Amino acid sequence: MSTHYRIAVTGHRNLGDQATVQFVTEAFHTLLAKEQQEHPGGIIALSGLAEGSDMLFAEAALELGIPLEGVIAYEGFENDFEPGPARERYYRLLKRCQVIHQLPFDTRSDDAYTAVGQWLVDYSDLLVAAWNGEPAAGKGGTGDVVSYAQREGRPVIQVHTIKHMVKTLEPEQKMAEVQFEEYSLFVEDTARFSERRQTVTNTYITVNGVIAGFITFLVKDSGLTNWWLVVAICPLILFGI
């Protein structure tokens, strides 16, 4: 494994309008240029070379002089592209890859695309995702790759294709730990409050019971004819019923 800092991409094939394509392209350039400066030892770009985001990322890397490695989902992946400009573009990028990683799938399948996404996460230090924030439309889609990366604790930078903004996503594991810690503190505070409330209640009942008994004794000792009525009313007064 190379000691270079490895940056992988995942993203939608269809980015929508030209404004979004332009935004994603510029975001890729900016992010890669920034990572170049922060890692003087060198970086490597990893791409599945599918249409859309994968290709834009690969082209941005090559324009910046960053070595490119392609991860091919299955034998005959070129058939994913219509004959003509799209397929020729794929061949051009393929020829410029320093390394090509061919996954062991013979035909196009959801499993093959899932494997590509997981491979990119497993063998990278950072995942860049051109993602609209929605769950994957199909197995192995962009949303699935992002979720896998977060579960694995991999840093993810989202290039939001709807909001046209760039942000860092927190790993799911870290977020779960924070939520669990907050819940634990809430449970502990609730238990302490209940314990204190029970102690106060018991003390209140004990004190008022003593007072009620004392009043009962005094009333009976005084010889009042209707002493039982006073005794019956005392608890109501003392307990505020």
* pTM across the whole model: 0.71
Of the pLDDT bands very low, low, confident and very high (cuts 50, 70, 90), residue 234 is low
Look at residues 113, 134, 169 and tell me which one is the last residue of a structural domain. Answer: 169
Same domain, 141 and 181: no
Cα 206 from Cα 220, distance rounded (Å): 21
Look at residues 121, 151, 169 and tell me which one is the last residue of a structural domain. Answer: 169
Average pLDDT, the chain: 81
| Cβ atoms within 10 Å of 206's Cβ, excluding its own | 10
Look at residues 112, 145, 169 and tell me which one is the last residue of a structural domain. Answer: 169
Same domain, 120 and 37: yes
Residues of the chain with pLDDT > 90: what percent?
A: 64
Same domain, 30 and 141: yes
Average pLDDT over residues 79-103: 96
Domain region containing 205: 175-238
Helix (H, G, I), strand (E, B) or coil at 222: coil
- How many domains does the chain divide into? 2
- What is the CATH number for 116? 3.40.50.450
Same domain, 120 and 224: no
Nearest C-alpha neighbor of 148 from the set 125, 179, 114: 114
Cα 28 from Cα 20, distance rounded (Å): 12
Same domain, 42 and 119: yes
